[in-house]
């Protein structure tokens, strides 16, 4: 027991050190109304990898559950047809610091904008080490939901408007709304791509690490409408992306960020979903993995297999001390792989530039 | 929802029909009767905290499942309307010794009393170390169930009477029945209370450790009637109480006991439940936490959020060697907090006196 | 990993010490012996497919957990080195009748034979409809376990002998032991086979329905030794086989039987396992699916990917009324596919002949 405790404490200590930064005013002005909610859950062994880091997918699933609850609650707050809010889009999300087994994940959600047919929800996640009291912001996510009628899943209902404290809040929300709408349209037109199998691939090639899983959609994966929760899909996507990353660099890896994800197509209970991932780009210390979700409504449905979601995940490799390690360079072979590598590089440089601009704007933070 | 219920019932009906063939002599010559049953399961890492102690909530959930099986079986043992036994009340339960990952939890249940409309079930839990063969009693719980018609959930059916070996058994059972009935009536009249958020609370105050979680009720949380299993609710309550206790004393904590819990209001599939906990009292070596469960039937229901259950959990703090540690005193600030502290002290002293009386009655045990 | 193992062992040791107090008369007067045990659980929506039939894999996992508990308990029943019983083999198992959501699965296990280094466990499963009281035998399974030292996982310990009521029981057990030993040796020498991907396959070909999933082995999947429970592996295998079967015939399918499975290679916590399935044979009303499990110990391990288990599953397709439906014939294309089809046909005819022989021997049962 001593050894166990010692090891666990030392793992814990690492977490503590990491978490020792001053808490960021969690729950400021919570004044819990209809349009905000917060809750917590202890992170369990099954939520984490063998190094004790909570999977990014576990956190994405919690974020989405909070968003689904608060937006469904809001959309049903006025008399009218009952509805369930369905996830339409998640904005790009960074994982700001790792979370560990035994910590409490505190998730708070707030509705920040409503258009006629959609709801913007801001979800913040903090890790809390309940032994030291230390708290760290781990995620700030923005999600868009659309209310679908409980009686007719193809009918989008109207969203009750929220009150803004200041006119600027509404204007900024509207701007964000227009931007994401454009991006959603664009990805909808993008062509489907498939991951082709490779026989006897060399290490560090794309074919070597590409992976896929299948999952039979069960009742607990679904909303009241009988369609898969967006969070369940994101958790599976993160699982595949993590396996691709681990196969490539054979070390402890963690999710660093997820690009914006659009959910164009619903996935029904009883479908089999195939989640496939391939590496597209490596920088010195990060890997970008593209993940596809295909749904196969093979029982009782006339429909063919279809592409439901796709997204880019970025992973980093960590040493036993939690420091980022260099990543082996991805070996590209085909023309398509080379093109995707360049596109990934473009996204990488753009994100880097954006981050530097933000840091210059707010140097005092 | 009607349609959903009808569908579930008709599925069930098909199962019933299929299963209606004559039973194949289950348990022949094993002395197994209708009114007792036993179950077991290996404790896994996810069932426990990081020190390896199985959560009290995991055990409460197993206890309730055993009770639900045996009482539903009993209530359907005579020809008549099919029914599902719903948990009405759990008597005060002590956690007599800790259970660890890798041990087998053996749960045995027996019907000990029946009134016209309710069933008393005694459930005993033993931890078994299958390596050493050592066994320890960890819990002795008493639960009350009420049979609800499968066709009309608001109709309470009659319970087939059990046979008593001795007249005294029936008399004692009747006494327990009357006592719990009174207590159930009383708590039903108690006023709802809410947990208000506190901004920047000081350590060891009530506001510092209070916590809440939300849970979307899924299909696997529910009985055949589509209402949450009492055990699922108790597991969530224990989770919140544990977070409150850990936030207060920042050490390894375990459930020591749960006061009697009355389940006045059912919670339906699709509801969001908010489970909130706050510390009410500390003695030298224990903490009392009050936990509330509120249900939000926000889709497809005209009903407002309502208080479904509330209960008091007692926790102790353990050293690395498993010895009880002193607990920091709870700092009460408001009048209400001071009142609740005194009430908690009353419960604490009453329990202590009762235990001492029992020990004097049975000194050799 | 050394450290991890030490940690787990030392935690376990503490549990042992704590539990070493004399057992409190568990099972007094209930005729419960060391060599038998029984367990039960309500079947939930998550245990079943959308038609409400419990997955064969859910049942296989319960069977194996019961076997692991009873054989570990038995192997530690005499003073000596502590050990954990690891699953070595499951004999061919038929699924005699379907189980439904809401029914209780009653699992009873008994040790029926011991050799010097292995334990034979007989596990029976009954479904119980607690509303009607109807019970049906759903499975009769035979499993073989081997005790591995808790201190040195590569050391097989000696098994305490059991007492037989009659000399014939021992002789018959010995015969079964010799037979399975031969079969184990044989499959060990069989060469590894791989499932090659197929691009744009036609319906009803082997390539059209072949499927695979990957799973990251988490702590709750493992025994105290840190290796995957045999039952967890079988559940994943059944999941893949079920998807292959559903893809082939696009109807509601259920597991009809599983051929003998040998577990030659352990799978460690932290591995990624790939479970792949392909159809090998169809009769008029059944499908045979071959499933492979490969383990990829890619973190912290010098070892290459290896074949851990393989097995044949038989599925049938059911109408909405639960009647077997005709199965579309498998279209074989390559020489290998044709050969495997003929081999599958051989197994099918052999099983059929064996069943007819049994029915003639025991026509009245």
Token readout for C264 is: 């030659």
Confidence at residue C19, expressed as pLDDT on a 0 to 100 scale: 32
Neighbours, chain B (3 or more CB pairs < 8 A)? A, C
pLDDT of residue B34: 54
Mind giving me the DSSP string for C205-228? BHHHH-EEEEEE--GGGB-TTSBB
Q: What is the pLDDT of residue A363?
A: 52
Residues in CB range of B333: below 8 A, 6 or more apart: B205, B206, B207
pLDDT tier at C24, thresholds 50, 70, 90: very low
Q: How far is B185 from chain C (nearest CA, A)?
A: 30
Q: Residue B256: its pLDDT value, please? A: 95
Q: How confident is the model at residue C304 (pLDDT cuts 50, 70, 90)?
A: confident
For A160, the 3-state DSSP assignment is: coil
C-beta atoms of A30 and B197 within 8 A: yes
Please tell me which residue of chain A has the smallest CA distance to C319. A300
Q: How far is CA C209 from CA A272, B238, C287, in A?
A: 12, 45, 12
pLDDT band at B190 (very low <50, low <70, confident <90, very high): low
Chain C residues with CB-CB distance to B323 below 8 A:
none
What gap in Å lies between CA A315 and CA A258, rounded to an integer? Answer: 9
DSSP state of A154: T
- Give Cα A320 distance to the centre of its chain: 25
Asked if C214's CB is within 8 angstroms of A246's CB, the reply is no
CB contact under 8 A, B213 and A66: no
Whether B193 sits among the annotated catalytic residues: the reply is no
C-alpha distance from residue C198 to each of B53, C205, C208 (Å)? 49, 10, 8
Which residues on chain B are in Cβ contact (under 8 Å) with A27?
197, 199
Binary contact (B15, C129; C-beta < 8 A): yes
How far is C168 from C174, CA to CA, in rounded Å?
10
Q: pLDDT value at position C199?
A: 77
Number of helices (H), then strands (E), belonging to chain B: the values are 6, 12
- Residue B141 CA neighbour count, 13 Å, CB half: 30
Measured between alpha carbons, how far is A238 from A243 in angstroms, rounded to an integer?
9
Query: Distance (Å, rounded) from C-alpha C301 to C-alpha B1?
Result: 52
Q: Residue A105 in 3-state DSSP?
A: strand
C216 φ, ψ (degrees, to nearest 5) = -90, 120
Mean per-residue pLDDT over chain C, rounded:
85
Between B72 and A296, the more confident residue is B72
For position C334, what pLDDT does the model report?
A: 94
As a whole number of Å, the CA-based R_g of chain B is: 21
Write out the two tokens for C2.
């050394």
Q: Among A90, A98, A28, A91, which residue's Cα sits nearest to residue A56?
A: A98
CB B317 within 8 A of CB B289: no
Note down pLDDT in tens along chain A; length 365 residues. Answer: 334 333 333 333 233 222 222 222 223 232 334 567 777 788 888 888 878 889 999 999 999 999 998 898 899 888 788 899 999 999 999 999 889 888 889 999 999 999 999 999 999 999 988 778 889 999 999 999 999 998 898 999 999 999 999 999 999 999 999 999 988 887 766 656 777 777 788 999 999 999 988 888 888 888 888 899 999 999 999 999 998 998 899 888 999 999 999 998 899 888 889 899 999 999 999 999 999 999 988 666 667 888 999 999 999 999 888 889 999 999 999 999 999 999 999 999 999 998 888 888 765 54
Test C219 with A299 for CB contact under 8 angstroms: no
A contacts of C196 (beta carbons < 8 Å):
197, 199
B301 — pLDDT class (breaks 50, 70, 90): low
List the single residue in A with minimal CA-CA distance to B3. Answer: A151
> What is the Cα–Cα distance from C22 to B126, expressed in whole angstroms?
13
Contact C20 B101 (CB under 8 A): no
Put simply, the answer to whether A130 touches B250 (Cβ < 8 Å) is yes
Beta bridge partners of residue B324, listed in sequence order: B318
Of A8, A212, A247, Cβ closest to residue C298: A247
> CA C12, CA C350: separation in Å to the nearest integer?
47
How close does chain A come to C26, measured CA to CA in Å? 27
Residue bearing tokens 């005729």: C31
Which residue is associated with the tokens 């919570």?
Answer: A30
Q: How far apart are CA C217 and CA A71, in angstroms?
A: 35
Return the bridge partners of C142, or none.
C122
Residue-level pLDDT at A362: 64
DSSP letter, residue A168: H
* C270 vs A contacts (CB less than 8 Å): 49-50
Choosing from B47, B53, B221, B238, the catalytic residue is B238
Look at residue A185 in the predicted model and tell me its pLDDT.
82
Mean of the per-residue pLDDT values of chain B:
85
Cβ-defined contact of A212 to C214 (cutoff 8 Å): yes
- For B139-150, write each residue's pLDDT tens digit: 999 999 999 998
Chain C CB contacts of A251 under 8 Å are 299
Tokens of B176: 């327990």
**In the prediction, which pLDDT does A22 show?**
28
Residues A320, A322, A326, A327: is their CA dihedral positive or negative? positive
Q: Which of B260, B257, B322 is nearest to B283 (CA)?
A: B257
Q: What is the pLDDT of residues C85-114, one digit of tens each?
A: 999 999 999 999 989 988 989 999 999 999
Top-confidence residue, B354 or A188: B354
pLDDT of residue C362: 64
Beta-bridged to residue B119, according to DSSP, are: B114, B145
Terminal CA-CA length for chain B: 53
**pTM of the predicted model, to two decimals?**
0.81
List beta partners, residue B277: B211, B291
Beta carbons within 8 Å of C349's beta carbon, 6+ residues apart? none
Position with higher pLDDT, B18 vs A286? A286
Which chain A residues touch C if contact means CB-CB below 8 Å?
A: 1-4, 7-8, 45-46, 49-50, 196-197, 199, 211-216, 218-220, 239-240, 242-243, 246-247, 250-252, 269-270, 272, 296, 298-299
Is the interface score ipTM higher than 0.95?
A: no
Tokens of C251: 């109807």
pLDDT tier for residue C80 given thresholds of 50, 70 and 90: confident
* Three-class SS state of A252: strand
Annotation marks residue B171 as catalytic: no
B83, B76 in Cβ contact below 8 A? yes
Structure tokens at A244: 């691709």
């Amino acid at each position: 027991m001593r050894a166990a405790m010692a090891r666990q404490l030392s793992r814990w200590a690492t977490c503590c050190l990491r978490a020792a930064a001053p808490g960021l005013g969690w729950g400021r002005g919570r004044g819990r109304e209809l349009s905000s909610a917060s809750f917590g859950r202890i992170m369990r062994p099954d939520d984490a990898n063998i190094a004790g880091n909570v999977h990014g997918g576990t956190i994405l699933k919690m974020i989405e559950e909070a968003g689904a609850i608060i937006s469904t609650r809001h959309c049903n707050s006025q008399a009218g047809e009952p509805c369930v809010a369905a996830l339409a889009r998640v904005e790009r999300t960074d994982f700001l610091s790792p979370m560990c087994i035994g910590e409490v994940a505190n998730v708070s959600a707030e509705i920040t904008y409503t258009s006629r047919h959609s709801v913007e929800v801001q979800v913040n996640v903090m890790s809390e080490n309940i032994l030291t009291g230390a708290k760290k912001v781990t995620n700030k996510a923005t999600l868009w939901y659309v209310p679908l009628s409980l009686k007719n899943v193809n009918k989008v209902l109207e969203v009750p408007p929220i009150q803004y404290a200041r006119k600027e809040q509404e204007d900024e929300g509207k701007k964000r709304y227009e931007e994401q709408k454009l991006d959603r349209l664009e990805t909808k037109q993008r062509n489907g791509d498939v991951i082709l199998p490779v026989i006897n691939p060399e290490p560090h090639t794309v074919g070597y690490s590409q992976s896929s899983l299948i999952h039979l959609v069960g009742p607990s994966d679904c909303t009241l409408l009988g369609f898969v929760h967006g969070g369940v899909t994101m958790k599976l996507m993160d699982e595949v992306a993590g396996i691709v990353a681990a196969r490539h660099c054979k070390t402890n890896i963690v999710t660093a960020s997820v690009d914006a994800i659009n959910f164009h197509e619903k996935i029904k209970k009883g479908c089999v979903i195939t989640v496939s991932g391939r590496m597209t780009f490596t920088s010195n210390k990060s890997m970008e993995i593209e993940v596809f979700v295909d749904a196969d409504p093979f029982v009782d449905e006339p429909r063919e297999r279809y592409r439901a979601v796709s997204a880019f995940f970025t992973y980093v490799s960590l040493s036993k001390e939690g420091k980022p390690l260099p990543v082996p360079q991805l070996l590209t072979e085909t023309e398509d792989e080379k093109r995707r590598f360049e596109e990934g590089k473009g996204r990488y440089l753009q994100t880097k530039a954006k981050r530097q601009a933000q840091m210059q704007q707010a140097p005092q933070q």
